[in-house]
Amino acid sequence: MQAPTIGGVSVPRGDGKTVVRVRRGASLTDFADKINANPASLVTVLFHLGEMATATQSLDEDTFKVLGSELGFDIQVVSPEDEERELFDAFNIDLDYGVEVEDEEDLEPRPPVVTVMGHVDHGKTRLLDAIRNANVIAGEAGGITQHIGAYQVTKEHEGENRAITFIDTPGHEAFTAMRARGAKVTDIAILVVAANDGVMPQTIEALNHAQAADVPIVVAVNKIDVEGANPDKVRQQLTEYNLIAEEYGGDTMFVDVSAKQGLHIDSLLEAVLLTADAALDLRANPDKDALGVAIEANLDRGRGATATVLVQAGTLAVGDSIVAGSAHGRVRAMLDEHGNNLDVALPSRPVQVLGLSSVPRAGDTFVVAPDDRTARQIAEKREAADRQASLAKARKRISLEDLNQALAAGKVETLNLILKGDVSGSVEALEDALLQIDVGEEVDLRIIDRGVGAITMNNINLAMASNAVIIGFNVRAEGQNAEYAEREGVEIRYYSVIYQAIEEIEAALKGMLKPEFEEHEVGTAEIREIFRSSKFGNIAGSIVRSGEIRRGAKARITRDGVVISESVDVAGLRRFKDDVTEVREGYECGINLGSFNDLQVGDLIATYEMREKPRA
Ligand code: GDP
C-alpha cells in the first residue's frame, strides 16, 4: 500500500485510472486545481520524486507522467491544437490537409500565396499596386477594384497560365501576428529593398520573420529608376544575412524592379513561380470540404460581418455552413477582388464571405461544417475555450529558468533570443558577446531579431511564434505590450549591464539557473523513551520541542549535536492510541521512524522540508 503522505504532505490520490487532462505547458498549480490539492504540497511530492520545479513553472509531459503514476492519476497532456482537433473530431471534421496526409492521386497543384515585406517606404504598397495593375492585361474586366485583403493574379509561365495569390496587407506585422496564432498562410515572401536606400532595420526584421517561419524569400530590389540606385549593393548587403543571390552562387532570386514605372514586374512574378517550383510542393486536395484561414474581416454596415478567407484545402461553395474562429454562419455569397460573385473557391483562393454571425479574427482557422447547427456548436465551444484560455494564467513559453530542462528533454535545441536596446552600439556589443558564448554541441544560440527602441508588439509576436526570449537592454516593454507579453507567456529579461546579461544567459545554457531549494526546519522533537514493538519496530516516545512534527516528513536524527542519520521518514505518528497527522510544540507523541531503529533516549529528531529559494 502507498503511504498516505509523501514528504510530509498529504495530497489527493487517484485510483490509477483517474484521467486528468492538463493543457500543454501546464504547471503544478494547474494540476493542483484539477485535483483540489495544494500546489505547494505537489512541489514537495515532486521533490521527493527527484524533480525540482516551482509551482508555476511549466512541466513537461514526462514529469507529469512520473507525478501522475505516483499519485494514481493518468495525467494526459493536451496541446491547444489537440484540443481543437478533438473538438473537430467530435463532429467528424478532418483538419488534416497537407501534402503529407492526402492520397497522392487526390492532390492538385495550387497557387503560391505570397506576402510582401520590407522596410517602410521601400515600396511595398506601390509594388502590390503595380502587380495588381500589371495583371489587368490578363483580361479581368475592370481590373481589381475591391480591397478584400488578398488578390490573385495570373502569369504565363512555361506555356501555362499560373495563378499567384498575394496577401494585400504589406508588412510583416500581419504575417507574424497570424503566425503567432498558429496560422501558416504564406508560402513565399517577397522582400522589398529600395535600391537607393539599401538594407534597413525593418528589412532585417522582415527577413528574420520569414526565415524564422521557414518561408523562402524572393528579393525585389525596388526603385531602380531612382538616381543613385545601387542594386548590387543590396545584393552585397544581404549576403551577410544568408540571402545569397543566384548570380553570386546562392539560391535566392533577386529581381530589380521599379514599382513606380512598372518595370520587371513580370520577372518578379516569374521568380516567385520558379522559387515555388524549386523549393515547395504546393498541392492540395480540392475535392473535400474547405478549410483555411481568415485573413481579414470587418463589420460592414450594409452587409453585416464580412470575412476574407483563404481556402487552403477543399472547395468552398455558396451555401456551405462554416465556422471561422468563434464566428459561424452559412455562406450567403462569395466575392472575389473584382467584385464578382463566385459559386466556388478552390485552394489558395481568397474570397470575401458574407453571411457570418460575427467577425472572426485574422489568423482564425475556418472549416466547413456538415450543417448550421454543428457550425454553431463548434463556434460556441471555441468561444468557451478561448475564454478559458485567456482566464488561465499565462504560461511561459520558454524561460531561461526552465531552458535546461527543455534542452535535456530534447524539446528545444536552440535558444532563440530577440535583443532590444537603447542604442545600436550596445545591441551590437551584446550580440557579439552572446555569440561568443561557448555553448557546446547540443544547443544552438540564435539571435533571431535585434533592434533599437522599446519592446514592441511585433517583437512579442515574433517571440511567440519562434519560442524566443526577449532581452531588453535599458529598454522596456510598456503598458499594453508588457501585459500582452505576460498574458502570452513571453519571457522578457531586463538588463542594464552587458556582462550580467551574458552571465545569465550563459548560466541558463549550462543549466545553472534551475530553481534553488533550501531546507526549512519544520519541527524538532526529543526522544524521552523508546518502546519496542515487534510489529512496528521502535517507537520513539518524544516531546515536540519546536514547531510541529508531521507524519510523512523527512527527518534528521542527531545525537549530542552529531548527525546519526539523514533522510529518515516519519512513518507513523501517534498521540496516545490515536494516529495523528501532526503534533505541535509542547506535546508528547510516539514517532515511528520506519526501518530506522538505532535510537537512544536524548536523540533529537529534526524534521524539514525543501522550499524553493527566491532568486536574488
Ligand atoms: P511602403 O511603406 O513600403 O508601402 O512604401 P510605399 O509603397 O508607400 O512607397 C513609398 C514611396 O516610395 C512612395 O512615395 C512611392 O511612390 C515611392 N516608390 C515606391 N516604389 C517606387 C519606385 O519604384 N520608384 C520610385 N521612384 N518611387 C517609388
In a 3-state reduction of DSSP, which class is residue 270?
helix
Q: What is the mean pLDDT of residues 454-474?
A: 87
**Single-letter amino acid code for the residue at 126:** R
248 C-alpha to ligand 1 centroid (Å)? 27
Question: Is position 224 annotated in a ligand binding site?
Answer: yes
Burial class (CB in 10 A: 0-12, 13-18, 19+), 605: buried
Percentage of the chain modeled with pLDDT above 70: 87
* 7 in Cβ contact with 43 (< 8 Å): no
208 C-alpha to ligand 1 centroid (Å)? 22
Q: In ligand 1, which atom is closest to the CA atom of 258?
A: 23
Q: What is the mean pLDDT of residues 33-54?
A: 84
258 C-alpha to ligand 1 centroid (Å)? 9
pLDDT (tens digit per residue) in 311-342: 999 999 999 999 998 899 999 999 999 889 99
Task: Please state, in angstroms and rounded to a whole number, the distance separating the CA atoms of residues 572 and 592.
Answer: 5
Residue matched to cell numbers 555553448: 439
> Would you state the pLDDT for residue 395?
43
pLDDT (tens digit per residue) in 113-122: 999 999 989 9
Question: Is position 157 annotated in a ligand binding site?
Answer: no
Q: What is the mean pLDDT of the chain?
A: 84
> Would you state the pLDDT for residue 199?
95
Task: Please state, in angstroms and rounded to a whole number, the distance separating the CA atoms of residues 474 and 500.
Answer: 13
* 32 in Cβ contact with 39 (< 8 Å): yes
> Would you state the pLDDT for residue 282?
95
Of the listed ranges 261-265, 306-310, 505-509, the one predicted with least confidence: 505-509
123 C-alpha to ligand 1 centroid (Å)? 4
* 368 in Cβ contact with 321 (< 8 Å): yes
Q: What is the mean pLDDT of residues 503-529?
A: 77
335 phi/psi in degrees, rounded to 5: -120, 145
Task: Please state, in angstroms and rounded to a whole number, the distance separating the CA atoms of residues 460 and 479.
Answer: 13
Q: What is the mean pLDDT of residues 357-370?
A: 87
Ligand 1 lining (C-beta closer than 6 Å): 118, 120-126, 170, 222-223, 225-226, 258-260
Question: Is position 161 annotated in a ligand binding site?
Answer: no
**Ligand 1 atom 24, closest CA:** 223
In a 3-state reduction of DSSP, which class is residue 424?
helix
User: Could you tell me which residues come within 8 angstroms of residue 598 by beta carbon, excluding any fewer than 6 positions away?
Assistant: 564, 565
pLDDT (tens digit per residue) in 173-201: 667 777 766 678 899 999 999 999 999 98
> Would you state the pLDDT for residue 352?
95
Most ligand 1 atoms within 8 A of CB, residue of 126, 175, 258 to mutate:
126
The bridge status of strand 604-613 relative to strand 516-533 is: antiparallel
Strand partners, 541: 529, 590
Residue 392 has pLDDT above 80, yes or no: no
Residue 563: pLDDT band (50, 70, 90) is confident
> Would you state the pLDDT for residue 300?
75
513 phi/psi in degrees, rounded to 5: -100, 20
Please name the helix (run of DSSP H) or strand (run of DSSP E) that holds residue 161, with its range, or none: strand 160-167
> Would you state the pLDDT for residue 588?
93
122 C-alpha to ligand 1 centroid (Å)? 6
Burial class (CB in 10 A: 0-12, 13-18, 19+), 319: exposed
223 C-alpha to ligand 1 centroid (Å)? 7
Most ligand 1 atoms within 8 A of CB, residue of 117, 119, 121 to mutate:
121
Question: Is position 119 annotated in a ligand binding site?
Answer: yes
* Cα–Cα distance list, 599 to 557, 569, 585, 587 (Å): 9, 14, 21, 20
63 C-alpha to ligand 1 centroid (Å)? 54
Cell of 287: 475535392
194 C-alpha to ligand 1 centroid (Å)? 8
Residue 614 has pLDDT above 60, yes or no: no
> Would you state the pLDDT for residue 373?
92
CA atoms within 13 A on the CB side of 396: 20
Residue matched to cell numbers 529581381: 255
Residues present in the chain in total: 616
Q: What is the dihedral of CA 169, 174, 178, 184, to 10 degrees?
A: 50
Question: Is position 170 annotated in a ligand binding site?
Answer: yes
Most ligand 1 atoms within 8 A of CB, residue of 260, 264, 265, 268 to mutate:
260
In a 3-state reduction of DSSP, which class is residue 346?
coil
**Domains present along the chain, CATH in parentheses:** 5-78 (no CATH), 111-281 (3.40.50.300), 291-389 (2.40.30.10), 396-509 (3.40.50.10050), 517-613 (2.40.30.10)
Question: Is position 123 annotated in a ligand binding site?
Answer: yes
Q: What is the mean pLDDT of residues 532-542?
A: 81
pLDDT (tens digit per residue) in 55-65: 777 788 888 98
Q: What is the mean pLDDT of residues 159-163?
A: 92
Residue 453 has pLDDT above 50, yes or no: yes
559 C-alpha to ligand 1 centroid (Å)? 84
The bridge status of strand 604-613 relative to strand 554-559 is: antiparallel
| Position with higher pLDDT, 260 vs 86 | 260
**Ligand 1 atom 17, closest CA:** 123
210 C-alpha to ligand 1 centroid (Å)? 22
Question: Is position 481 annotated in a ligand binding site?
Answer: no
121 C-alpha to ligand 1 centroid (Å)? 6
327 phi/psi in degrees, rounded to 5: -95, 150
Q: What is the DSSP string of 188-239?
A: EEEEEEETTT-S-HHHHHHHHHHHHTT--EEEEEE-TTSTT--HHHHHHHHH
Strand partners, 550: 582
Residue 107 has pLDDT above 90, yes or no: yes
Task: Please state, in angstroms and rounded to a whole number, the distance separating the CA atoms of residues 297 and 366.
Answer: 12
Residue 46: pLDDT band (50, 70, 90) is confident
Q: In ligand 1, which atom is closest to the CA atom of 192?
A: 3
Residue 416 has pLDDT above 90, yes or no: no
Cell of 368: 466547413
Question: Is position 125 annotated in a ligand binding site?
Answer: yes
Cell of 411: 524539446
> Would you state the pLDDT for residue 391?
44
Residue 239 has pLDDT above 90, yes or no: yes
**Ligand 1 atom 6, closest CA:** 123
Q: In ligand 1, which atom is closest to the CA atom of 226?
A: 26
Cell of 393: 494564467
Gap between the terminal Cα atoms of the chain: 42
Residue 80: pLDDT band (50, 70, 90) is low
Question: Is position 121 annotated in a ligand binding site?
Answer: yes
Question: Is position 122 annotated in a ligand binding site?
Answer: yes
Q: In ligand 1, which atom is closest to the CA atom of 129?
A: 7
Cell of 282: 504546393
Residue matched to cell numbers 460573385: 341
DSSP 299: E
The bridge status of strand 254-256 relative to strand 344-345 is: unpaired
**Ligand 1 atom 2, closest CA:** 121
Q: What is the mean pLDDT of residues 421-439?
A: 80
Residue 439: pLDDT band (50, 70, 90) is low
